């Protein structure tokens, strides 16, 4: 069976400051117990980890854990290392996956649905051994609503006026940027405290 009319555009949103937002929020949530600092993770390493391929027996989880441990060791001693990374979720009853942060539309032109989504997980490592202490998919109180929409993960329904004319317009949209930043912020507030 072939599906027509689907489109996927991947765009860089470094200008949205999501990484900085995460570091500040982790500092706010955990600041009374820990001093929080950012560890620089090489973009080339991230790109290699997220690239497809590697064969049937590729263990991306082990690769990720090794890369985090290497970056943390190079940055000095910590009690804990927290990794926040993009994940994906199945889209409705299709064979497609929504990955990372974005906006999605589906349905007929006049009756379509529009959602912002933020799919990511949090992993906490022991700062000495880099053993994984806990991993959780980021959530909010409204995860049941996201299951019912078929979008999965963290979502927020928006109207058609949010839909960008072009991928570059999405990057420049303060509305989309702020909506996704709010999803990320709320989910960190909900998920992080219960992990420690």
Residue 9 forms part of a structural domain: no
Residue 152's nearest CA partner among 164, 138, 162 is 138
Residue 5 forms part of a structural domain: no
* Residue spans of the chain under pLDDT 70: 1-6, 93-95, 108-111, 141-153
Residue 165 main-chain phi, psi, to 5 deg: -70, -35
Residue 173 forms part of a structural domain: yes
Residue 113 forms part of a structural domain: yes
Residue 121's nearest CA partner among 145, 89, 91 is 89
**What is the number of structural domains in the chain?**
1
Residue 86 forms part of a structural domain: yes
Residue 156 forms part of a structural domain: yes
**Residue 46 is part of which domain span?**
14-195
* pTM score, whole prediction: 0.84
pLDDT at 178: 97
128 burial type by CB count under 10 A (0-12 exposed, 13-18 middle, 19+ buried): exposed
Residue 4 forms part of a structural domain: no
Cα distance between residue 12 and residue 19, in whole Å: 13
Residue 117 forms part of a structural domain: yes
pLDDT digits (tens, 9 = 90+) for 12-65: 898 999 999 999 999 998 878 888 889 988 888 888 888 877 777 888 899 999
Cα distance between residue 48 and residue 111, in whole Å: 39
């Amino acid at each position: 069976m072939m599906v027509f009319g689907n489109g996927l555009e991947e765009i860089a949103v470094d200008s949205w400051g999501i990484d900085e937002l995460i570091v500040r929020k982790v500092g706010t949530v955990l600041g009374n117990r820990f001093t929080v600092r950012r560890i620089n993770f090489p973009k080339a390493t991230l790109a290699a980890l997220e690239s497809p391929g590697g064969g049937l027996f590729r263990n991306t989880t082990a690769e990720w854990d090794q890369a985090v441990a290497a970056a943390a060791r190079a940055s000095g001693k910590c009690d804990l290392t927290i990794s926040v990374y993009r994940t994906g979720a199945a889209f409705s009853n299709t064979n497609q996956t929504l990955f990372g942060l974005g906006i999605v539309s589906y349905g007929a032109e006049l009756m379509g649905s529009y959602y912002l989504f933020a799919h990511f997980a949090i992993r906490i490592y022991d700062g000495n051994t880099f053993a994984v202490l806990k991993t959780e998919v980021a959530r909010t109180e409204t995860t049941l609503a996201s299951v019912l929409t078929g979008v999965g993960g963290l979502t927020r329904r928006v109207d058609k006026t949010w839909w960008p004319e072009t991928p570059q317009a999405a990057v420049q949209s303060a509305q989309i940027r702020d909506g996704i930043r709010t999803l990320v912020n709320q989910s960190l507030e909900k998920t992080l405290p219960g992990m420690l």
